Each structure stands twice: as C-alpha cells, then as structure tokens.
A and B are shown apart, each in its own frame.
Chain A
Amino acid sequence: MDYSPLLLSLKVAAISTTVVFISGVFFARVLARKQFFGKSMIEAIFMLPLVLPPTVVGFALLLLFGKHGWIGKWLIDWFDVQIVFTWLGAVIASIVVSFPLMYQSAAAAFNSLDDRLENAARTLGASEWRVFRTISFPLAWPGLLAGLVLSFARGLGEFGATLMLAGYIPGKTDTIPMSIYFAVESGQMEKAAFWVVIIVALGFSTILWLNWWSRRNMQRYTNENRSR
C-alpha cells in the first residue's frame, strides 16, 4: 500500500488551514462593524466559492493559475513556480473553497463581541495590536475555533476543484479524497474502505484535539489574567 496520499493530504490541509485562518481572521477583523460602499460586494465575492459547484471553482482556478492563466503565467515567468498539476494546486484549491467558512465564522465572532470592552482598553492606552491580542481575539476565540475546524475539514475533504487544478498524477498529486474517488469508480472497494477509515479517523481526531487544546488554552489564559 502506498501511503503518499496520507502525507500529501495532511500537508495540503495543514498549509491551507494556516493560510485561511490568518487571512480569514485578518479580513474579518478589518471589515467587522464597518459600513462602506461596496462592502456587501466584497463579502459576496468572498462567499462565492461556497455556492459555486466545485467544477466551476476548478475551472475558474485553471483560468487564473493555468500555465497561460493570468496569475499562473506571471508566477512561472518571475518565480519559475508552477501551480497547475502540482501539489501547490491542491493547496490553492483548498484555500479557495475553505476561506468562506473561516471568514463567515470569524466575521460573526467579531461582530457579536462587546465593543465597549475594546473601547475601554483603548481609553486605557492600549495599542490596537494589544487590544486585538488581549481582548478581541480571546473573546472571539470560540467562533474562530469553529471556523478553524470547518476549514480544516473542508480542506481535507476537497476534491472537485483539486482534481481540476492539481490533476490526478498518482504518487504526486493524489490526495486521500482522490484515491477514494478513483478506487470506488474502479470497484476497488477494499482500497476505498481503507482510505475512508483513515480520513474519518484523521478528521475525528483532529477535531477532538482542537477542542481539547482550545479548552486547555482558554483555561490557562483566564487563569493568567486573573492572577495578574
């Protein structure tokens, strides 16, 4: 049995979740509670990958990141980096489809926290970064965690757009969902079942661990602040 899909899937999901978490939190924080012309337009664009069929997202990504696509051509010319038919393609596809989940959760979390607490910290002279680090982020954490879990799960299970952008090159770009799809389609039920068990175990233990970790972290956080 070839275990490369497991390593590849973990690598792709880990990188994409990290990127999505940081960018999702950033955009949600910057846009939270602001009203300006075109905001709903920006949010609609952010949410688009959620409502489009995966093959449409995949096709759009091919247009952008293909060898002759707008971004893809530029990346090859300047950095000699090819996205299409490489594992980087799988990362990009995962980022794009899981970003809406992170953004939505983070936006809801930041919008619902009590902004008087942030303002109180500001009147006491805290810098914006400190306000974010010690007030906004911890208060929004339950919502952010939900987004983190959702985007990891979505990234791990991403198939349609990945197949289009990363292609299916056995040993190079075959993530677990791809291995499952082609195993089922060709009637190799044992192989499919094996990968299903792996991906279920993986998703399950990740979510358990994240929950445990966040509870422990939160506890320490509140204790620290109390003792101060």
Chain B
Amino acid sequence: MIKFIKSLLVIAIVATMSGCAKIGEEDMEKKEVAISAAASLTDALNELKIIFEDEHDDVSVTLNFGSSRKLATQIEQGATADIFLSASMEDMERLKEHGLVNETTMVEFTENSLVLITNKVVNNPVSSFEQLGTARFDHISMGEPDTVPAGRYGKEVLKHLQLWAPLRDKLVLGSDVRQVLTHVEMGNADYGIVYASDAKTSDKVIVVAEADPSWHTNIVYPGSVMSDSVHPTEAQDFLDLLSGKKGRAVLQKYGFK
C-alpha cells in the first residue's frame, strides 16, 4: 500500500515538473494575446490564429471558447482576456457598462443567419419555415430561448410566423447548439433551427431554408479589445486581421456573412 502511494507521489511530482518546464521554454519571450470567443467561432479562429502567428513571430495567441454569456461572466469576475469576441450584442454591452471594454476598438466583424435544417432520413422535408405550420412531423429542436442566443432568434422567427404556439409541444429545447445538431443528425428530431455557421460544421444535416433577416433581430458579432489588456497593440492587430479582408474570407468559408 505504502509502495503504491509512493509511486503515485512520484508520478504526480514528475508530471508537475515536466509541465512547468514546457511552459517556461515555449513562452519565455513571446507576448501572449488571450482571446475569449463565442464557441461558434471555433473553426474560423483556429485558422486565423495560424495566419496571425505566421505574420507576428513574437506573439502567441491563446483561444478560450465558450458561450458568450459565460465568457462575459468570467471576464466580469476577473478572468484575463485581451480580446472578447461575442456572439451577442447584449453580452458585449454588459461588459461595456462595467467599463471593461476599450470602446474605441469595438467592431461588428461579422453576421450570421438562421437556417432550418433536417436529416437525410426525413421523407419529403419542408422547403420553408412557413410550411412547418402544415407539415406532419414529431419534433423540431432549437436552443432554449432564454439561455441560448440562437434559440432566442429562433423564437423570434417562429413568433413572427405565428408558429410559436402551435409548435410548442413539438419543440425540443437544447442547452447548446451542439445538442440541437446531435438531435437532428441522429434523426430523433425531424427539424432544427441553428446558425448557418453551425449547420456548416455538420455533414449529416441538410439546410432546407434560410430565415429572412427581417424576421429576427440582426445577428451581429461584436469584438473588442479589453480596457485592461496587457498587449493592446497586438490585440488591435488581431482584431484588424479579423475584420479585414483575410478575416472575412476565412469567416465566409465557415458559413458567416
């Protein structure tokens, strides 16, 4: 028993030391730009990180993904970030009120749209949001409106089309967009409402319709350098890249506008 505990201790110590050594070597003289970004931006930002680090040898970018609401709360409670890239204006505004945002740097760097998706196994799927009112199906999935931004916009669309009340019993609400995609991918829900960019991350779903932008609040993505950023110049450089031509090209590749 004692032998076992001893060997556990040795493993723990070795693991800790090797961890320290690694961090020390890599980032000794590099400036670290920490980005907190909405989870929907994952693929696009991973690609832009490589482009940015190629252009700036002395900078390393760390990405922290999560729901915009959670990230804003983290930053409010003192988590360090140089840049905040949000999927909703509301969360950016909240940080602005607390004076955590360098307001002059704020840009709306992209937009997203809402789409209706289905699975290959659904026979004769609808081809528009309006047809949901008359079509026969069991379940439609979307994010929970009070907690998931995509769900909030989805509710706006359904309300605008006067489908919210009739579809209530068929609505399966997910705690995040990934869950909605899973339900549709596996054919448990016949339809789903997600962002165009999310639909692009799955090759098992088919987009059948895009919501008219006038049916819901504009889905803009605001980004900003934080007021207590350690490397504001480098952070600004990244924001410029993101909202510039190269950034737009990458974002479009992943379904953004």
| A contacts, CB < 8 Å to B | 59, 62-63, 66-69, 82, 84-85, 163-164, 167-172, 181-182, 185-186, 188
Q: Which of A69, A164, A172 contacts B179 (CB 8 A)?
A: A164
The residue of chain A having its C-beta at the shortest distance from the C-beta of B145 within the complex is: A186
Which chain B positions have C-beta within 8 A of A66?
186-188
User: Using a Cβ cutoff of 8 Å, how many contacts connect chains A and B?
Assistant: 64
The residue of chain B having its C-beta at the shortest distance from the C-beta of A187 within the complex is: B146
Which chain A positions have C-beta within 8 A of B183?
167
Asked if B209 is an interface residue, CB under 8 A from chain A, the answer is no
Asked if B206 is an interface residue, CB under 8 A from chain A, the answer is no
Nearest first, the 4 A-B pairs at minimum CB distance are A186-B146, A167-B172, A185-B147, A168-B173
| B contacts, CB < 8 Å to A | 69, 121, 138-139, 141, 144, 146-147, 168-169, 171-175, 179, 182-183, 186-189
Interface of A is mostly: loop
Apart from the given pairs A66-B186, A168-B172, A170-B173, 5 other A-B contacts in the complex at a CB distance below 8 Å: A62-B188, A68-B188, A69-B186, A163-B175, A169-B171
**Bound complex: CA A66 to CA B187 (Å):** 8
**B179 and A185 contact, CB distance less than 8 A:** no
Which chain A positions have C-beta within 8 A of B168?
170-171
Within the complex, what minimum Cβ distance (angstroms) separates B220 from chain A? 21
**A59 and B182 contact, CB distance less than 8 A:** yes
Q: Which of A62, A84, A172, A185 contacts B169 (CB 8 A)?
A: A172
**B147 and A182 contact, CB distance less than 8 A:** yes
The residue of chain A having its C-beta at the shortest distance from the C-beta of B148 within the complex is: A185
Of listed A59, A63, A67, A188, residue having the most chain B CB within 10 A: A67
**Bound complex: CA A164 to CA B141 (Å):** 12
Q: Which of B69, B175, B188 contacts A85 (CB 8 A)?
A: B188
Within the complex, what minimum Cβ distance (angstroms) separates B117 from chain A? 16
**Bound complex: CA A169 to CA B141 (Å):** 10
**B188 and A84 contact, CB distance less than 8 A:** yes
**A67 and B147 contact, CB distance less than 8 A:** no
Which chain B positions have C-beta within 8 A of A181?
175
The residue of chain B having its C-beta at the shortest distance from the C-beta of A163 within the complex is: B175
Which chain A positions have C-beta within 8 A of B169?
169, 171-172
Of listed B169, B171, B187, B188, residue having the most chain A CB within 10 A: B188
Within the complex, what minimum Cβ distance (angstroms) separates A80 from chain B? 13
**Bound complex: CA A85 to CA B141 (Å):** 11
Which chain B positions have C-beta within 8 A of A172?
169
Which chain A positions have C-beta within 8 A of B182?
59, 62, 164
Which chain B positions have C-beta within 8 A of A182?
144, 146-147, 173, 175
